[in-house]
Amino acid sequence: MLLEQLEVLRNSGLLTNNALLELQGTLPAESRAFKPRAPESLRQAGVSDHLAESLVLKLLLTRGTTTGREISTELGLPFRVLEEFLRQLKKEQLVAHRSSAGMQDYVYELTATGHERALRCRELSAYVGVTPVPHTEWVASVEQQSLRKEAPGPDDLRRAVSDLVLPDKFFRQVGQAVASGKGLFLYGLPGNGKTSIAQRICGAFGKHIWIPRALLYDNEVVRLYDPIVHVAAETSDDPGIDARWIKIVRPTVIVGGELTLDQLEMAVVGSSNVVEAPLQMKSNCGLLVIDDFGRQRCSPRELLNRWIVPLETGVDYLNLPSGKKVCVPFEQMIVFSTNLAPKELVDEAFLRRIPYKIEAPNPSDAEFRRVFGIVAEKLEIQFDQAAYDYMVQKHFREAGREFRYCHPRDLLQQIKTFCKFEGLPLQMTHETIDAAAENYFVNLDV
């Protein structure tokens, strides 16, 4: 009931969006789930007449003709908000009615004056699309949807990693890091599931968040929603939702050896003057995983130095193309995952800023056997204990190899491929195991 009353105050103009977000944060948890509410005016949307005019004119320049309701949909603003503004543009002879569209709507087109002004607007910025949201509203939403407000417990983490077999000690260590929502340094030998664990951690938190498709910093548009790294959730049929925002699966952004320092800064897209948000902005309220840490195109020291201030303060400072420095939230759990020895990569000053340093261990005999049985069942391969004992003795103990969590999956995939190629039943036998091991393992002494 209180939330509805706050909405009435906002819609009447007596409460700003930011004030609404702050008050929502004081409500009980079940009442304060963040939802962006549709604005009742351009002013309430934080959109100047100049920006709205530029977006409408550039859209018509691209489309040629379109209805008022189609303009409303493209710009993500309610038709009732744009209707009066479109009348004003017609009065200024920037747009004209091509024809009637019914339901008190019209098909719009540019006039000669409007076409000239649209070209000038496009020279300044080629951005055409959903109206950007003022960055202050996004900052407030990040605070409200932060991982640190979730506090997941053991059951939440078990659900997220239900398809993995983790030693109890390792599970508890990871669980403490997840509950804190702070930095995690995962290290250990390759093949023990560091990346798999990092990919699943977000599943322990609330599933969805809302983000703006684009942000407005003064007069500069910054694209935040990225379909490459963000997964859109089902669209909402609630007419009260602000269509400039999109509901996404809580993000897990994973970068590996391809990462460069440039990807951590604001970047102008081509000659469009449209700014693309960096990875750490896109991963807010989720996870940013630096996989294969130490193998990036920049040195580990350069990358670590880039993160020291954000890890310490929870904010990052970025430069817009105009040269203006802006402060943005750094509200994600950052995970460094590496196969290299920590002493080769980091110093004590940096490790101090990463609260949790956890080694991913090799599986024990019992854990290795359990994983092998689980994977065999998934791949529909008949498990044979005698064949398993043969494999462990010949290809691990006699060969001096240690168990890795990846071995059951990789070896059983090899067995399945061999059986299919040879037309054999999907079974573990001495023959299929030897064939798999011969293909998979490398004799490093050669």
Q: Are 248 and 214 contacting, i.e. CB atoms less than 8 angstroms apart?
A: no
The reported pLDDT for the residue numbered 30 is 42
Residue 10's pLDDT band, with cuts at 50, 70 and 90, is: low
Residue 19: HSE in the Cβ half-sphere, 13 Å Cα cutoff: 10
> Each residue of 388-398: pLDDT tens digit?
999 999 999 99
Residue 446's pLDDT band, with cuts at 50, 70 and 90, is: very low
> Each residue of 167-216: pLDDT tens digit?
899 999 999 999 888 888 899 888 988 888 888 888 898 889 999 999 99
> Each residue of 233-268: pLDDT tens digit?
987 778 899 999 999 999 999 998 888 898 899 988
Residue 31's pLDDT band, with cuts at 50, 70 and 90, is: very low
**Average pLDDT rounded to a whole number, residues 371-376:** 94
> If one looks up domain 365-440 in CATH, what number appears?
1.10.8
Q: Residue 305's closest CA among 363, 261, 274? A: 261
How far is residue 75's CA from residue 59's CA, in Å, rounded to a whole number? 9
- Alpha helices of 231-299 — where are they, by DSSP H? 279-282
Q: Are 144 and 24 contacting, i.e. CB atoms less than 8 angstroms apart?
A: yes
| Plot region of 270 (φ>0 → left; ψ -120 to 50 → alpha; else → beta) | left
Q: Above 60 in pLDDT, residue 403?
A: yes
> Each residue of 313-335: pLDDT tens digit?
899 999 998 889 999 999 999 89
DSSP for residue 396: I
Instruction: Provide the percentage of residues in the chain whose pLDDT is more than 70.
Output: 91
Q: What is the mean pLDDT of the chain?
A: 88
- CA distances to 224, 264, 432 from 267, in Å: 12, 9, 52
Opening angle at CA 144, ends 139 and 146, nearest 5 = 90
The reported pLDDT for the residue numbered 22 is 60
The reported pLDDT for the residue numbered 323 is 86
Residue 21's pLDDT band, with cuts at 50, 70 and 90, is: low
**Average pLDDT rounded to a whole number, residues 212-236:** 91
Task: Choose the CATH number for 49-129 among 3.40.50.970, 3.50.50.60, 2.60.320.10, 1.10.10.10.
Answer: 1.10.10.10
Domain boundaries of the chain, sorted by first residue: 49-129, 134-139+162-359, 365-440
The reported pLDDT for the residue numbered 7 is 53
The reported pLDDT for the residue numbered 371 is 94
The reported pLDDT for the residue numbered 16 is 62
Give CATH superfamily name and number for 134-139+162-359: P-loop containing nucleotide triphosphate hydrolases (3.40.50.300)
Host H or E run for residue 402: none
**Average pLDDT rounded to a whole number, residues 85-100:** 95
**Is 178 in a helix, a strand, or coil?**
helix
How far is residue 335's CA from residue 196's CA, in Å, rounded to a whole number? 12
Q: Which of 74-78, 150-154, 435-439 has the lowest mean pLDDT?
A: 150-154
Buried b / exposed e across 70-79, counting CB within 10 Å, b at 16+? bbbebbbbbb
**Average pLDDT rounded to a whole number, residues 408-413:** 96
**Average pLDDT rounded to a whole number, residues 99-113:** 92
